[in-house]
A and B are shown apart, each in its own frame.
Chain A
Amino acid sequence: MINGTVVDLSRVQFAATALYHFLFVPLTLGLSFLLAAMETVYVTTGKPIYKQMAQFWGKLFMINFALGVATGLTMEFQFGTNWSFYSSFVGDIFGAPLAIEGLMAFFMESTFVGLMVFGWERLSKGQHLAATWLVAFGSNLSALWILVANGFMQDPVGATFDPFTMRMQLTSFQKLIFSPDVQSKFVHTSIAGYVTAAVFVTGVSAFYLLRKRHVPLAKRSLRMAALFGVLATIGVITLGDALGFVAARVQPTKLAAMEGLWKAQAAPMPFNLIAFPSQTEQKNDGVVQVPDLLSLLVTHSLDRTVLGVDALERQARRRIEQGIPAVQALRVLARDPTNAAALAKFTAHRRDLGYGFLLQRYAPDLSQATPAQVRAAARDTIPPVAAVFWSFRVMVGLGLLMLAFFVLAALYSLHNTVQNKRWFLKVAVWMIPVPFLANECGWLVAELGRQPWTVFDVLPTWMSASTHSVAYMVFSLIGFLGLYSIFIVIELYLLVRAIRLGPAEPGGAGEGRTVPAAAHGGKAEG
C-alpha cells in the first residue's frame, strides 16, 4: 500500500504547481481577446492609438504568457512521475485531450504568438489581426482540452473499465467532450479569464489616470475593459450557476460540502450564507441563513431538495458493500481472465468498483472487512467541508464584488468622468489581485470538492499516487515551491517594470514618456 504521507505530499505538490500555474493562465485567456478587440478597432478605424494599445498590452500579455508556459510544462510530467497508477489506469482517456491540446491548440497558439509579436512591420493589418485572433482562440482551445481532461476526472463519462487490461478505455469521444460538466467548466473558466484580464487592464489604466500619464490610452483601455468586464462577469456568474446545477446531479458530495449541508432539509431549503462547519461533529456553528435560496440556486425550483451528507454517507455505505464483490472478482480475473463466474460477478457489480477500492485502504483483505471499516470508508467520501464551503463563498463574494466594480467602471467611463473619480481609480488599482484570488478559490472548490477521488466515483486518490519515498517528495516539493516563487517574482518584476515604462510612443520613440492628449492629433482623439 502507498504511504499516506507520500499521497498527501503528491497532492500538495500538484496543488501548489497548479495554483501557481493558475495565476498566469486566466490572464492569458482573457487578455488575448482584449488584444483582439483593441486591434480590431485599430484595423477598422485606422487610429494609431489602438495600435499603441494593442502593442502595449501585448507586451504585458507576452510576459505573462511566457511564464504561464514555463509553469504549465512541469504539470504534465507530474502525472507520470507522481501519479503513475492514475496515469496507467486512465491514461487512455486522459492522454487523448492532453495530446490534442499540445498538437492542436498549443502549437497554434505558439506559432501565431510569434507572428503577433514580431509581425507588426512584416504583415498587413488584416494578416496581423488574424494572427491575434488565432492566438486568442488557440489559448482558449488549449484551456478547452485541459478542461476536457479535468472534466473526465469530475464526471467520468464516455469510458468504461476493462477488467482484462485493468485500465479505463474510451468508449465515446463525443460523450467526453460534450459532457455537461466539461462544457460548463470550460466556459466558466474561460470567461473567468476574461474577467481577470478586464480587472487587470482597468487597474493598470486607473494607475495611469491617477498619475495623468498616457491618458488617451488609459481612458480607451479602461472603457474597453469595463464593458468587456461587466458582460464577462455576468457570464461567469451564469456559468457558475450552471456548474452548481451540474454538480447537484453528478457530484452531490461536492455540492453538500459547498453548501455545508449535513442533513437533508425540507424544500425550500435555506442557504447558509455564513457557517463554520465541523467535519468531526457533522454540524455547522454560527450559522446565518437566507431562507429558500438554496433550493432556488441548486434545483432552480422551490419544491425540490438535494441530499445532505448523512444521506450521501448511507448511499456510499451501500455502494461500498456492492463494490466488495467487484474488487474480489477483479482479483480472480487478474489471475485467470477466462473465469466466467468471476466475469459475471464483476459485471454485476462493476458500477461500484471504485467504492470497493475505497474500502481497501482500511481493509486490504476485503473478505474480513468490518462494518466500522465500511463506515470509515463511507465517511471518506465527503470532501473537506470547511475548506470547500469557504473557498466557494470567497469566490462568489469576490465575483459579486467584481460585478459591482465593473458596473460602476462602465457607468463612469460611459459618462467620460472616470478620470475625475480618484477614489474609484485608487480602488481599481487595489482590485487587481481580486480576480486572481477568486480563480484560486474556484480551483480549490473544484479539486478539493472532488476528493477523495482522482476520478470521481471510479479511482480513489489514495491509490493513484506513485510509490516514492517521503524524502523524495519533500525535496521535489521544496524545489517546485522555490522555483515557482522565483517565477512569480520575475513575473511581477517584469510586469511592474513594463507598466512603469508605459507604452512605446507611435513610431517607437521615447518609451515611457508622458504623451499629452493633443499629441495623438485628430485621429487619436476622433
Chain B
Amino acid sequence: MRTFLYFLLFMFLAGVITILAAILGDEGAWYFAWLIGTAMLVLVSAAGGALLDAQEASAAAAGREQS
C-alpha cells in the first residue's frame, strides 16, 4: 500500500512537471530551466554528501584490512 501511495505521488509529480513544461513552453523557458536546474543542483549536492560517506567507509574498511 505504501509503495502504491508513493507511486501515485511520483506519478502526480511527473504529471505536474509534464503539464508545466507544456504550459511554460516557449513563453517561460527560463522558469522551467530554473525548476529543473534547482532540482538538479539539490540532487547533485545531496549525492555529493552520500558519495563522501561511501568514500570514508571505503577508506575505513581499507584501514581495517591493513591493520
A253 within 8 Å of B (CB atoms):
no
The smallest C-beta distance from B57 to any residue of chain A, in angstroms, reads 4
Name the contact of A223 in the complex, choosing from B29, B49, B60 (C-beta under 8 A).
Answer: B49
Please state if A228 and B41 are interface contacts (CB–CB under 8 Å): yes
* Given A33-B38, A416-B59: A41 in contact with B46 (beta carbons within 8 A): yes
Decide if A37 touches B52 in the complex (CB within 8 Å).
no
* Chain B: minimal CB distance from A435 (Å): 16
Residues of A within 8 A of B33 (CB): 187
- Tell me if A219 counts as interface (CB < 8 A to partner B): yes
Interchain pairs with CB closer than 8 A, number: 97
What is the distance, in angstroms, from B48's C-beta to the closest C-beta of chain A?
4
Interface size in chain B (residues, C-beta < 8 A): 29
Contact B48 A226 (CB under 8 A): yes
Chain B contact surface mostly:
helix
Q: Are A191 and B37 in contact (CB under 8 A)?
A: yes
Assuming the A-B contacts A235-B37, A526-B53, are A224 and B28 also in contact, with contact meaning beta carbons closer than 8 angstroms in the complex? no
B18 within 8 A of A: no
A242–B41 contact, CB under 8 A?
no
* Pairwise interchain contact B41-A220, C-beta atoms closer than 8 A: no
- Picked from A224, A235, A242, A526, the residue with its CB within 8 Å of the CB of B45 is A224
Residues of B within 8 A of A174 (CB): 27
A41 partner, pick from B29, B34, B50, beta carbons under 8 A: B50
A171: min CB distance to chain B, Å: 16
Beta-carbon contacts under 8 Å, A196-237 to B? 219-220, 223-228, 231-232, 235
A106 at the interface (CB under 8 A from B): no
Interface stretch among A15-23, A178-186, A305-313, A504-512?
A178-186
**A235-B37, A525-B57 known; A37 and B42 CB under 8 Å?**
yes
Minimum distance in angstroms from B44 CB to a CB of chain A: 5
CB-based contact A187/B34 at 8 Å: yes
Interface residue B12 (Cβ < 8 Å from any Cβ of A): no
B54 in the interface (beta carbon within 8 A): yes
B10 interface residue (CB < 8 Å to A): no
- Digitize B6-49: 1 where CB-to-A-CB distance is under 8 Å, 0 elsewhere: 00000000000000000000011111011001101111111111
A19-73 residues with Cβ-Cβ distance < 8 A to B are 33-34, 36-38, 40-41, 44-45, 47, 50
Cross-chain contact B40 with A231 (CB below 8 angstroms): yes
Q: Which residues of B sit under 8 angstroms from A416, Cβ to Cβ?
A: 52, 55-56, 59
Q: Which residues of A contact B48 (CB under 8 A)?
A: 223-224, 226-227, 413-414
A239 and B30 contacting across the interface, CB-CB below 8 Å: yes
- Measured between beta carbons, the chain B residues less than 8 angstroms from A525 are 53, 56-57, 60
Selected from A33, A45, A183, A228, the residue in CB contact (under 8 A) with B50 is A45
A38 touches B41 (CB 8 A): no
- In the assembled complex, 7 residue pairs joining A and B whose CB atoms fall closer than 8 Å, in A order, are A33-B42, A45-B50, A178-B28, A187-B34, A219-B52, A232-B41, A235-B41
B positions within 8 Å CB-CB of A? 27-31, 33-34, 37-38, 40-57, 59-60
